[in-house]
Amino acid sequence: MTTKSITPPAGTGAGFIPQSHQTSKKQPGVPLLPPGSAGAVTRWWPVRWPRVGGVALLPLSAAAFTSEAFQNAYVPGTLAYIYCAGCGEDHRMPQVATGLLGVARRLFAAIHKVSVTSQVKLTDRVRELNRDRYGSITISADGYLCSDRGFDNWMLQHILPEGAALPGSPVSIGNRCLPVRLPLGLSKDEFEERLHQRMHDASLNAWLKTPKARQHCTQIGYAPAELSRQTAYGFGDSVRFSEAKEFYFFRPKSDDADRLIRIAEVIIHDWVMNPASRRKLVSYKSLGQGYVSALPGA
């Protein structure tokens, strides 16, 4: 793969992606795609969507993983996989069961599930998402919990960055995933929570609580709660409702993928080279493990 060559401004680190400050002259609601298009972003609205990791790549030296200091400190540990998933039309009822694609179409935004698994057979993780109908629960227009159809139709997506990982990076570009060789001592759960922490501002549920979201939802005719997502996890005869926090404004075949790779690289580099980073964990015991209350993250 050809490495993306970008000359960064001073102090930004390698791989800076400049932000465009151009103001669109389009009219709100103007069509972007032809009628009948299968895409989600079919109309233009005056809203600036959040982006995972911000606008620029997080700063990290090009020699971050090839330096003697890193190579002496890094010990390979667990193999994990960052994946991106979506669920679109169900061929049996394409006008009703639209899953996450239906949410994206109503919002006119690009939304995907981004998360981490240590299962080597990634399709097993997809089967779990289908079984749980991850993210299917929302709030109806009259204020009641309800379940949208199509969330049992998950598919892994290709993650195709415009550039490449840094030389010697423990993060690589795989088939519908980003394989990550975590350093010894960094668990999959801790890595996953740090990834979500870094991407939080671009998560769907978090954004829906902002004034910008309320303004956009007003112009498209929805209440923010109607677009929020939860998951109902079954445990025998009992059910636990949890926020579906892994939905992000994310385009897997764009420079969003470059920023995702860099976030993972920064987390790993910080864990290996910064002892203070290893002393404060952000992962926690899950209610699904039988705990009656969430333990503090620190």
Q: Residue 293 — very low, low, confident or very high, per pLDDT cuts 50/70/90?
A: low
Domain assignment present for residue 152? The answer is: yes
Residue 234, beta-bridge partner list: 239
For the segment 207-223, the average pLDDT, to the nearest whole number, is 96
Residue 19: predicted pLDDT:
45
Q: Which residue has the higher pLDDT, 96 or 159?
A: 159
Domain assignment present for residue 93? The answer is: yes
Q: How many domains does the chain have?
A: 1
Residue pLDDT, tens place only, 3-54: 443 333 333 333 444 444 455 678 888 888 898 888 889 888 899 999 998 8
- Rounded CA separation 103/109 (Å): 9
**pTM of the predicted structure, to 2 decimals:** 0.86
For the segment 106-112, the average pLDDT, to the nearest whole number, is 96
Residue 14: predicted pLDDT:
39
For the segment 145-157, the average pLDDT, to the nearest whole number, is 95
Q: Which of 23-27, 76-80, 94-98 has the lowest mean pLDDT?
A: 23-27
For the segment 203-219, the average pLDDT, to the nearest whole number, is 96
Residue 242 sits in which domain range? 38-274
Domain assignment present for residue 1? The answer is: no
Are 76 and 183 spatial neighbours (Cβ–Cβ below 8 Å)?
Answer: yes
- Rounded CA separation 3/219 (Å): 41
Domain assignment present for residue 33? The answer is: no
Domain assignment present for residue 24? The answer is: no
pLDDT at 141 over 90: yes
Q: Residue 90 — very low, low, confident or very high, per pLDDT cuts 50/70/90?
A: confident
Domain assignment present for residue 29? The answer is: no
Mean per-residue pLDDT over the chain, rounded: 88
Residue pLDDT, tens place only, 227-248: 999 999 998 888 999 999 999 9
For the segment 74-87, the average pLDDT, to the nearest whole number, is 97
Domain assignment present for residue 134? The answer is: yes
Domain assignment present for residue 85? The answer is: yes
Q: Which of 97-101, 113-117, 120-124 has the lowest mean pLDDT?
A: 97-101
For the segment 45-73, the average pLDDT, to the nearest whole number, is 93
